[in-house]
Copies of this chain bind each other. A is one copy, B any other.
């Protein structure tokens, strides 16, 4: 059995620090590196790429709406052509830097509000996929199962890896419970490990109402900026390893 564990990284901006990139890096198999538009200054981005390569992790670009103040977590009424250009530009920056550091860009996971919007809006999914294809049609797209982005990518013959979340509670329709609801973000490593184990071994998740739902995921996201993120990542890593489930 095998599962990819991914984490958003490189989101610090100058002296504004977020996440615990170096502490979490050993416990994951893929990282999604910010591209400067919601976080990620050049020095942080380059250092994160080098750390990921040193740890032999898969590297993805993590492009977003151009909104530093909102950390890419606010929807924006950006035109299709501007969205296309913004995503292509962000991936391009990472693409060369990873190559020159001796690696190869593996995937793209769009960030924040753009991740959610592109899951349901074809007017966004289209330009995003155009941009990815423009840079490298072999890049894997990390996205929600059953999302518009996933369906459109598959129709175009592009590679997709479906994502589930270790540290977020699920509604009955498998959407994520809103962060504004108390308890929506899981900070207890024991509960996170239990959720991951269900997802990996039984392809199941227990929703907020207690229902058991089927869920398909090729990669599981752990967040680096939640409380106890390092403990969660470490616990998941150790539990999976003990069960002889390959991380990668």
A residues at B contact (CB < 8 Å)? 13-18, 36, 39, 41-43, 45-46, 66-71, 73-78, 81-82, 85-86, 88-97, 100, 113, 134-135
Select A89's contact among B13, B36, B113, beta carbons within 8 Å.
B36
Interface centre among A67, A71, A75, A134 (most CB of B within 10 A): A67
**A76 with B67: CB separation less than 8 A:** yes
**A75 with B73: CB separation less than 8 A:** no
**B43 with A81: CB separation less than 8 A:** yes
Bound Cα distance from A53 to B17, whole angstroms: 28
With a cutoff of 8 Å between Cβ atoms, the chain B residues found around residue A42 in the complex are 82, 85-86, 88-90
Bound Cα distance from A153 to B138, whole angstroms: 36
Select A76's contact among B14, B70, B85, B92, beta carbons within 8 Å.
B70
Select A93's contact among B66, B82, B92, B100, beta carbons within 8 Å.
B92
Q: What 12 new A-B contacts, CB under 8 Å, besides A74-B77, A92-B95?
A: A13-B16, A36-B89, A41-B69, A41-B82, A43-B81, A43-B86, A46-B88, A70-B76, A70-B78, A76-B77, A77-B113, A100-B134
With a cutoff of 8 Å between Cβ atoms, the chain B residues found around residue A73 in the complex are 15
Q: Give A16 Cβ to nearest chain B Cβ, in Å.
A: 3
Bound Cα distance from A81 to B95, whole angstroms: 21
Select A66's contact among B69, B85, B89, B97, beta carbons within 8 Å.
B69
Given the interface pairs A16-B71, A92-B96, A135-B100, the reply to whether A46 lies near B85 with Cβ below 8 Å is: yes
Q: Which residue of B lies closest to A96 (CB)?
A: B92
